[in-house]
């Protein structure tokens, strides 16, 4: 049966058996599939989104008002916003150059500096598998354990990626997966939290279903959330699990094709995993960097017009930007290439803009600027009203020269060939 066929079968079953609710046989079945997939005797709770999984992971770590939580600055906002939802303060840590993920050394420096400055240890650490690339989880866990800090792995983009052979999301106390429409597998929208044991699983399950106690009536002893995945979405998930390995193989194949075809293109580099043998990225998206001296056709006109819709046609962006530029944006040649590709029917996207450069986190200081101090390593600590950042410059530098290229299940070998040829033709 085809992929769509299986998904429709599970969904039809949900209707036939009257399970059109946020629980049921598809939810149970999908969770069992996921538990088998991630291994390590983990328990999994299927949720309505990856964001809610980050949120519940932090809730279960006891994060609350006045706490601080360390996370990677170079990420999608969903790694950070749930920290703010809980009244806690995100402490953004910059990246290392090889993986683009949280720099373990800088992370330890940040922990020490937080303890020195606040007298308190950060309440959790959220590393992120950026574009599927594994973070150096052995180093991260060693430091986290040394300071007694629980780790919530944001493997939303790293479904099926492995470090030293072990699936991401299974190293920390909790692991986050996302099944949003653009991720490796999708349930239209959805996510999951990987938990360490039955006790943790039970707690997460309680929080995900409004924290209802076992009485014949509704008894609430804690504040819960309505975060359970629907049985319809889980039906899609069960269908998708039958093709997960094929999707993963496809992403890795597309990456290797990009690597091969870009090998002889000067000034353009494909972001690839370190060759130590520890890394096995799912290569969710192919990311390239473009040297600043590479000239792209029509580059002098980059950023001359105000964009009236979000890049990527993002849902929810309903107002035009107020100005064509910001104080932190991709270089002119990157923007010119994005426009060039767009005209050729190819969607190139900027990398995630680092959280410590987002106005919502860095633009709200009382005096309009941060308290700034330098650290022994040469990194800089910025203290804002609602966030703290430990910055070595790596994520901002990558954001300025980077771009993501299409890599999904519909991207064929011919497409990759066309994309690379188009990029070559854009270079002057
Ligand atoms: C997609 C994503 C999430 C959140 O997932 P949703 O299912 O969209 O809520 C969290 N973290 C990262 C890094 C992501 O890319």
The predicted-structure confidence for 120-143, as pLDDT tens digits, reads as follows 999 999 999 999 999 999 999 999
Task: Give the model's pLDDT for residue 153.
Answer: 98
pLDDT digits (tens, 9 = 90+) for 252-262: 999 999 999 99
What DSSP state is assigned to residue 369?
Answer: S
For ligand 1, the distance from its centroid to the CA atom of residue 54, given in whole angstroms, is: 9
For ligand 1, the distance from its centroid to the CA atom of residue 231, given in whole angstroms, is: 21
Estimate to the nearest angstrom the gap between the alpha carbon of 356 and the chain centroid: 16
Rounded CA gap, 273 and 283, in Å? Answer: 9
pLDDT digits (tens, 9 = 90+) for 97-117: 999 999 999 999 999 999 999
For ligand 1, the distance from its centroid to the CA atom of residue 425, given in whole angstroms, is: 34
Task: Give the model's pLDDT for residue 314.
Answer: 58
Task: Give the model's pLDDT for residue 23.
Answer: 75
**pLDDT > 70? residue 368:** no
Confidence (pTM): 0.94
- Adjacent-strand bridge partners of 212: 220
Task: Give the model's pLDDT for residue 364.
Answer: 61
pLDDT band at 1 (very low <50, low <70, confident <90, very high): very low
Rounded CA gap, 108 and 80, in Å? Answer: 19
Query: Do 45 and 187 contact (CB within 8 A), yes or no?
Result: no
What DSSP state is assigned to residue 276?
Answer: T
pLDDT digits (tens, 9 = 90+) for 379-410: 999 999 999 999 999 999 999 999 999 998 89
- Looking at 54-63, 217-226, 297-306, 419-428, which range is the least confident one? 297-306
Task: Give the model's pLDDT for residue 412.
Answer: 97
Helix (H), strand (E) counts: the chain: 13, 16
% pLDDT > 70, the chain: 94
- Is the beta carbon of 191 within 6 A of some atom in ligand 1? yes
Atom of ligand 1 nearest to the CA of 130: 13
Q: Pick from 156, 184, 194 the residue to mutate for probing ligand 1's pocket: most ligand atoms within 8 Å of its CB.
A: 156
**Nearest 10 degrees: Cα torsion 71, 158, 131, 355:** -20
More confident site: 19 or 87: 87
pLDDT band at 13 (very low <50, low <70, confident <90, very high): confident
pLDDT digits (tens, 9 = 90+) for 311-366: 655 566 666 777 788 889 999 999 999 999 999 999 999 999 999 999 999 976 55
Rounded CA gap, 293 and 270, in Å? Answer: 17
pLDDT digits (tens, 9 = 90+) for 187-244: 999 999 999 999 999 999 999 999 999 899 999 999 999 999 999 999 999 999 999 9
- Domain map (residue ranges) of the chain: 3-243, 246-426
Mean pLDDT, residues 159-182: 97
Task: Give the model's pLDDT for residue 331.
Answer: 97
CATH of span 246-426: 3.90.1150.10
- Is the beta carbon of 49 within 6 A of some atom in ligand 1? yes
What DSSP state is assigned to residue 283?
Answer: -
Mean pLDDT, residues 32-44: 97
Question: Hey, what are 231's tokens?
Answer: 């049985």
For ligand 1, the distance from its centroid to the CA atom of residue 313, given in whole angstroms, is: 17
Query: Do 38 and 167 contact (CB within 8 A), yes or no?
Result: yes
Atom of ligand 1 nearest to the CA of 128: 13
Q: Pick from 56, 153, 180 the residue to mutate for probing ligand 1's pocket: most ligand atoms within 8 Å of its CB.
A: 180
User: Spelled out in words, what is the top-level CATH class assigned to the domain 3-243?
Assistant: alpha beta
For ligand 1, the distance from its centroid to the CA atom of residue 47, given in whole angstroms, is: 12
pLDDT band at 180 (very low <50, low <70, confident <90, very high): very high
* Length of the chain in terms of residues written: 428
Rank 7-11, 24-28, 280-284 by mean pLDDT and report only the highest.
280-284
Task: Give the model's pLDDT for residue 313.
Answer: 57
Mean of per-residue pLDDT scores for the chain = 93
């Amino acid at each position: 049966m085809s992929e769509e066929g299986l998904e429709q079968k599970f969904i039809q079953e949900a209707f036939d058996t009257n399970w059109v609710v946020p629980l049921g046989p598809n939810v149970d079945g999908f969770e069992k599939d996921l538990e088998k997939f991630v291994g390590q005797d983990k328990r999994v709770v299927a949720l309505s989104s990856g964001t809610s999984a980050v949120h519940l992971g932090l809730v279960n770590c006891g994060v609350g008002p006045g706490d601080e939580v360390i996370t990677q600055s170079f990420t999608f906002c969903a790694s950070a916003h749930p920290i703010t939802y809980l009244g806690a303060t995100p402490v953004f840590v910059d990246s290392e150059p090889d993986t683009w993920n949280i720099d373990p050394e800088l992370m330890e420096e940040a922990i020490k500096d937080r303890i020195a400055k606040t007298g308190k240890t950060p309440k959790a650490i959220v590393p992120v598998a950026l574009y599927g690339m594994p973070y150096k989880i052995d180093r991260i866990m060693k430091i986290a354990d040394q300071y007694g800090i629980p780790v919530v792995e944001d493997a939303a983009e790293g479904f099926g990626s492995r470090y030293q052979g072990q699936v991401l999301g299974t190293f920390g106390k909790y692991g986050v997966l996302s099944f949003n429409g653009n991720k490796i597998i999708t349930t239209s929208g959805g996510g999951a939290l990987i938990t360490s044991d039955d006790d943790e699983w039970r707690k997460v399950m309680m929080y995900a279903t409004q924290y209802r106690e076992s009485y014949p009536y509704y008894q609430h002893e804690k504040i819960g959330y309505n975060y359970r995945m629907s049985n319809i979405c889980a039906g899609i998930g069960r269908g998708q699990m039958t093709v997960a390995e094929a999707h993963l193989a496809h992403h890795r194949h597309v990456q290797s094709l990009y690597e091969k075809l870009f090998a002889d293109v000067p000034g353009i580099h494909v972001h690839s995993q370190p060759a130590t043998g520890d890394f096995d990225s799912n290569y969710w998206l192919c990311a390239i960097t473009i040297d600043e001296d590479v000239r792209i056709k029509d580059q002098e006109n980059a950023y001359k017009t105000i964009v009236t819709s979000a890049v990527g046609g993002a849902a929810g962006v309903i107002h035009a930007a107020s100005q064509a530029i910001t104080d932190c944006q991709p270089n002119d040649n990157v923007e010119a290439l994005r426009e060039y590709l767009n005209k050729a029917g190819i969607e190139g996207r900027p990398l995630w803009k680092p959280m410590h450069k987002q106005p919502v986190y860095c633009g709200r200081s009382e005096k309009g600027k941060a308290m700034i101090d330098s650290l022994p390593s040469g990194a800089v600590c910025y203290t804002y009203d609602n966030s703290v950042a430990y910055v070595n410059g790596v994520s901002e530098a990558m954001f300025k020269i980077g771009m993501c290229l299409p890599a999904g299940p519909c991207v064929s070998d011919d497409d990759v060939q066309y994309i690379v040829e188009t990029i070559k033709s854009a270079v002057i």
